[in-house]
Amino acid sequence: MLISESALRTFTQNVFLAMGCSDEHAGLAADVLIQADLRGIDSHGVARLVGYVRLWEKKRINPNPNITIVHQTPTTATVDGDAGLGLVVAPFAMRLAIEKAEKYGSGWVSVRNSNHFGIAGYHSLMAVEKNMIGFAMTNASPLVAPTFSNERLLGTNPICYAFPAGNYPPVVVDMATSAAANGKLEIAQRSGKQVPEGWIQDANGDITTDPHALKKGGSLLPLGGNKEHGSHKGFGLSATVDILSAVLSGANYGPWVPPFVAFLEPPNDPVGLGIGHFVGAMRVDGFRPLDEFKANMDNWIARFKSASTVDPNQKVIIPGEPELEAEADRKKNGIPIVDAVWNDLKGLAVKFDSPLTP
């Protein structure tokens, strides 16, 4: 099933409007989701729309949040998202970081009382448009066990760094800090395939390749997979995301992060408010003239693109390249939607009496 960007955008916007979001918030939230679909990150696009709706139905998402700055210095702030959509709370925080960076060189905002913010890359790229370096990260529902543990204590806690370049497109490092993102697991589940060793463990902490192990009490593994291969580093990165996003802002951290799925209740002993994000922006020309930086970035990219390769048919991929290729294709040819997601969207179309055509 292929659907045009504009049709999917209008539908998504209408769903957020039907939830009671303002025009501005509905447009922004839809834009974050559609960008994910355009960029080929299907797990974080409209596939999640029904999830946001279900959380709203459970009154765990506030469609009209009063987003406030609760603490700040010239270059730092904590924002309270008032239980709003992360899709609008995170852009608010990034706009604040950019304003601070415009005045003082850099800006850093920790966010509490938010919800799932979509793809980290969307928020980082807001800074890149202003010739800044963008940072974005978020904690998430606990699915990942620390090294040596069989307990789910961390989310897939993504981290994103985005850098403007000159003639080349921006370099965008946007990655889960687990060995594999949950979306990859879902693909294996649908296709009935086993997953590689090092992605997941069973409830006892034994190695497994069963993509359904998570549902049987298993857990995802941090980037690295096991200690010998550096999983303590993946754990350390994930911990960093959790601390900057939640311990610093006063959100829930570790196993207290409320689940994204509406059928699981949040812990009844919260240690903070909602989930947490952390975003930042640094002006490139706070360090060196912008044209010099961009020229060096282009040279950096060119050198890595021309690296000698193991397989002559597989070039080195610059972080951010696959997303741009997907975007070019999908803007032209439409966005592919798998059947399960299409059925969810059709359900929303009925629920909100909102037309949806491929």
Residue of the chain from 26, 46, 127, 239 that contacts a second copy (CB under 8 A): 239
| Window 293-352: residues binding a second copy (CB under 8 A) | 293, 296-297, 299-300, 303-304, 307-311, 314-317, 319
Q: Does 247 bind a second copy (CB under 8 A)?
A: yes
Contact by Cβ (8 Å): 110, 253 = no
Residue from 1, 66, 68, 148 that binds a second copy (CB under 8 A)? 148
Residue pair 125/134 in contact by the 8 Å Cβ criterion: yes
Residue among 128, 122, 118 at smallest CA distance from 171 = 128
Q: By CB under 8 A, what part of segment 153-192 binds a second copy?
A: 153, 161, 163, 171, 173, 175-177, 179-180
User: Phi and psi dihedrals of 185, rounded to 5?
Assistant: -65, -40
Q: What is the H or E stretch that residue 49 is in? A: helix 49-57
Find the part of the chain contacting a second copy (CB under 8 A) among 51-59, 123-131, 247-255, 343-351.
Answer: 247-255
Closer residue to a second copy in complex, CB, 33/220:
220
Q: Which of 6, 204, 268, 357 binds a second copy (CB under 8 A)?
A: 204
Shortest distance in whole angstroms from residue 302 CB to a second copy: 10
- CA 114 from centre of chain: 13
d(CA 38, CA 348): 21
Instruction: State in angstroms the smallest separation of the CB of 47 from a second copy.
Output: 22
269 binds a second copy (CB under 8 A): no
Q: Any contact of residue 208 with a second copy (CB under 8 A)?
A: no
* Binding region for a second copy (CB under 8 A) out of 30-38, 43-51, 99-107, 329-337: 99-107
CA angle 135, 137, 142 (to 5 degrees): 170
Q: Give the nearest distance from C-beta 177 to a second copy in angstroms.
A: 8
Give the whole-angstrom CA distance, residue 196 versus residue 211. Answer: 9
Count residues contacting a second copy (CB under 8 A)?
88
Site for a second copy in 58-77 (CB under 8 A): 71-77
Query: Residue 286, interface with a second copy (CB under 8 A)?
Result: yes
In single-letter form, the type of residue at position 147 comes to T
Q: In a 10 Å sphere around its CB, with 0-12 CB exposed, 13-18 middle and 19+ buried, how is residue 225 labelled?
A: buried
Beta bridge partners of 178: 222
What is the C-alpha to C-alpha distance for residues 168 and 151, in angstroms, rounded to an integer?
A: 43
Interface stretch with a second copy, choices 115-123, 221-229, 261-269, 336-344 (CB under 8 A): 221-229
* Closest distance of CB 320 from a second copy, Å: 9
User: Which residue type occupies 309?
Assistant: T
133 binds a second copy (CB under 8 A): yes
104 binds a second copy (CB under 8 A): yes
Is residue 150 a contact point for a second copy (CB under 8 A)? yes
First to last CA, the chain: 7
| Element at 160 (helix H, strand E) | strand 159-163
Site for a second copy in 19-48 (CB under 8 A): none
